[in-house]
């Protein structure tokens, strides 16, 4: 009953427990061995954990060496070629943001990653498998790839009107990766750079080649219709010319009387043209129609060669999962297409040169100019420092075992009261 009465007393009457600094220091001193030993043990565990889980971060700066996709050469008229060259000069370097997002979405897929690693025979590498697990977990490459732009928002604000005329394509990538050893970190950054560029090449050619066969077939059919139309016009001009020759032969004096030959008559006036002049005009029209036929036949012949070449390139694309391997295989496909053709024929030689220029330009941009301009670095220090681990272990151990000592002291002091 006395205890029950004490519990019912007002809090102000009970009084709060009082602790003095001296009592606290006495308790800590008595438990000094446990505090010191426990803190040291926690510090050792933190250091061991840091050493076991230590990672090294490698970085590299990968630049795109030109406009991507690389503009393709065309077998077109000289006037149009000049316009095409001007457009090519104006093409800004790097990858347009829309294309970049599309490429990253594709290379972030585990299917594309597995295809490439199998192609280069690295699918069983433990570090590559760890990279794949990270890729699947994050479902994107934002952890590894950071796009680099010609200017930041601050640059654009400072440049103001000038910035409107400057392209802000992705001109490069900052690639980083953490691994358990410096060598693995450096190797993975190199691999990520190669994989990214290889995927870009593969996607560029995949987009281009899959539609090229239909485009060329459609163009060949269109040229065929153009040839048929011009042949009909040529026959019409031939019939008209034959008739005019008969008229001129029948009326030999008509050539000297050009002003009296009626061409058209209206209510207000009349126009005259001699049969001889009409004959000359018809022959000129026939000549132009014949030239149009020859030009269309030449272009059709070139497009047939191109279709055969691009069909071979598409077959290589379907049987290949590496963009770099596909690009290097294009020269062999070209040689196979032209080995049975006469390269002394200028129309054939023009297509041969066009494909050669395309392949050389693509190789230069994709495989030579696009490269690491800094790094990949071989890291010397861990991402987490031992000093930080020691400090964290010291603070955690000191706090935990100090509380443990206070808890033990309180238990010893109050267990008899609690038992009563």
43 and 116 together in one domain: no
Q: Are residues 125 and 268 in the same domain?
A: yes
What span, in angstroms and rounded, lies between the C-alpha atoms of 176 and 315? 35
Greatest mean pLDDT among 114-128, 241-255, 302-316:
302-316
Q: Write the CA distances from 390 to 28, 48, 108, 247, integer angstroms.
A: 22, 10, 38, 113
Q: Judge if 202 and 225 occupy the same domain.
A: yes
Rounded CA separation 413/27 (Å): 12
- What total number of domains does the chain contain? 2
Considering the domain architecture, whether residues 126 and 32 belong to the same structural domain is answered as no
179: closest CA among 330, 59, 334? 59
Sequence length of the chain is 420
Q: Over 70: is that where the pLDDT of 315 sits?
A: yes
Q: How confident is the model at residue 81 (pLDDT cuts 50, 70, 90)?
A: low
- Of 339 and 256, the structure prediction assigns the larger pLDDT to 339
Distance (Å, whole) CA 193 – CA 415: 67
pLDDT tens for each residue of 320-342: 889 999 999 999 999 999 998 99
Q: Is residue 416 part of a domain?
A: no
* Between 386 and 368, the higher pLDDT residue: 368
CB 220 within 8 A of CB 303: yes
Domain coverage including residue 329: 55-374
Say which residue the tokens 């990672």 belong to.
55
Residues 47, 128 within the same domain = no
Backbone Cα Rg of the chain: 41
Is the per-residue pLDDT at 415 higher than 80? no
Examine residue 303 and state whether it is found in any structural domain, yes or no.
Answer: yes
What mean pLDDT comes out for the span 280-291? 84
Report yes or no on 75 lying in a domain: yes
Identify the pLDDT of residue 23: 75
pLDDT in tens, 199-253: 999 999 998 888 888 888 899 999 999 999 988 988 888 888 888 777 777 766 6
Q: Is residue 18 part of a domain?
A: no
Q: Is residue 20 part of a domain?
A: no
Same domain for 258 and 111, yes or no, is yes
Phi, psi of 85 (to 5 degrees): -65, -40
Q: Are residues 271 and 391 in the same domain?
A: no
What is the pLDDT of the chain when averaged over all its residues? Answer: 79
Confidence of residue 48 (pLDDT cuts 50, 70, 90): confident
Q: Helix or strand or coil: residue 37?
A: helix
- In this structure, the answer to whether residues 110 and 241 fall within a common structural domain is yes
For residues 47-69, give the mean pLDDT.
83
In the chain, % helix, strand, coil (3-state, to 5) comes to 70, 10, 20
Residues 339 and 394 in one domain: no
- Cα 173 from chain centre: 10
The residue that leads in pLDDT, 396 or 263, is 396
* pLDDT confidence band for 27 (50 / 70 / 90): confident
Q: What pLDDT was estimated at residue 7?
A: 45
pLDDT band at residue 79 under the 50/70/90 scheme? very low
On whether residue 136 sits in a domain, the answer given is: yes
Residues 343-360 pLDDT 10s: 899 999 999 999 999 999
Whether 31 and 38 have beta carbons less than 8 Å apart is answered as no
Is residue 180 located within the same domain as residue 75? Answer: yes
44 with 80, same domain: the answer is no
Average pLDDT over residues 262-272: 55
Does residue 286 sit in the same domain as residue 392?
A: no
Q: Is 291 part of any domain?
A: yes
More confident residue, 112 or 48: 112
Lowest mean pLDDT among 4-8, 89-93, 122-126, 209-213: 4-8
pLDDT over threshold 70, residue 12? no
Any long-range contacts for 333-338 (C-beta under 8 Å, 24+ apart)?
Answer: 333/309, 334/309, 334/359, 336/312, 337/305, 337/308, 337/309, 337/312, 338/305
Range of 107-116, 137-146, 327-336 with top mean pLDDT: 327-336
pLDDT at residue 410 tops 50: yes
**What does pTM read for this prediction?**
0.72
Q: Is 61 left (phi over 0), alpha (psi -120 to 50) or beta?
A: beta
220-225 long-range Cβ contacts below 8 angstroms, 24+ apart = 220/300, 220/303, 220/304, 220/307, 223/296, 223/297, 223/299, 223/300, 223/303, 224/300
**pLDDT per position as a tens digit, 152-182:** 666 556 665 555 556 778 999 999 988 888 8
Domain membership of residue 412 (yes or no) is no
């Amino acid at each position: 009953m006395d205890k029950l009465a004490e519990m019912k007393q007002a809090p102000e009457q009970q009084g709060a427990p009082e602790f003095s600094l001296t009592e606290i220091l006495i308790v800590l001193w008595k438990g000094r061995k446990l505090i010191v030993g426990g803190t040291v043990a926690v510090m050792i565990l933190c250091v061991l954990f840091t050493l076991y889980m230590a990672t090294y971060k490698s970085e590299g700066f990968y630049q795109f060496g030109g406009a991507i996709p690389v503009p393709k050469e065309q077998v077109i008229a000289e006037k149009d070629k000049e316009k095409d060259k001007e457009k090519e000069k104006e093409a800004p370097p790097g990858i347009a943001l829309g294309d970049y997002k599309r490429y990253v979405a594709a290379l972030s897929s585990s299917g594309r990653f597995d295809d490439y690693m199998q192609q280069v025979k690295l699918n069983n590498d433990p570090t590559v498998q760890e990279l794949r697990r990270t890729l699947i977990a994050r479902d994107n490459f934002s952890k590894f790839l950071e796009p680099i732009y010609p200017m930041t928002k601050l640059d654009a604000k400072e440049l103001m009107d000038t910035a409107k005329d400057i392209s802000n394509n992705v001109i490069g990538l900052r690639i980083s990766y953490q691994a358990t050893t410096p060598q693995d970190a450096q190797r993975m950054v190199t691999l990520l750079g190669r994989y990214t560029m290889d995927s870009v090449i593969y996607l560029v050619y995949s987009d281009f080649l899959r539609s090229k066969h239909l485009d060329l077939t459609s163009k060949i059919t269109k040229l065929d219709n153009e040839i048929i139309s011009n042949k009909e016009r040529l026959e019409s001009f031939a019939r008209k010319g034959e008739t005019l020759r008969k008229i001129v032969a029948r009326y030999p004096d008509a050539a000297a009387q050009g002003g009296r030959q009626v061409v058209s008559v209206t209510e207000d006036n009349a126009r005259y043209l001699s049969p001889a002049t009409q004959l000359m005009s018809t022959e000129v029209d026939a000549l132009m129609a014949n030239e149009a036929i020859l030009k269309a036949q030449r272009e059709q012949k070139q497009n047939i060669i191109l279709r055969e070449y691009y069909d071979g390139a598409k077959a290589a694309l379907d049987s290949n999962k590496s963009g770099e391997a596909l690009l290097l295989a294009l020269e062999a496909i070209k040689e196979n297409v032209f080995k049975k053709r006469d390269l002394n024929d200028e129309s054939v030689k023009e297509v041969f040169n066009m494909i050669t220029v395309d392949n050389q330009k693509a190789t230069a941009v994709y495989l030579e100019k696009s490269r690491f301009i800094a790094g990949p670095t071989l890291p010397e220090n861990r991402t987490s420092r031992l000093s930080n681990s020691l400090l964290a272990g010291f603070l955690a151990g000191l706090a935990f075992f100090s509380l443990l000592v206070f808890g033990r002291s309180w238990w010893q002091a109050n267990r008899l009261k609690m038992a009563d």
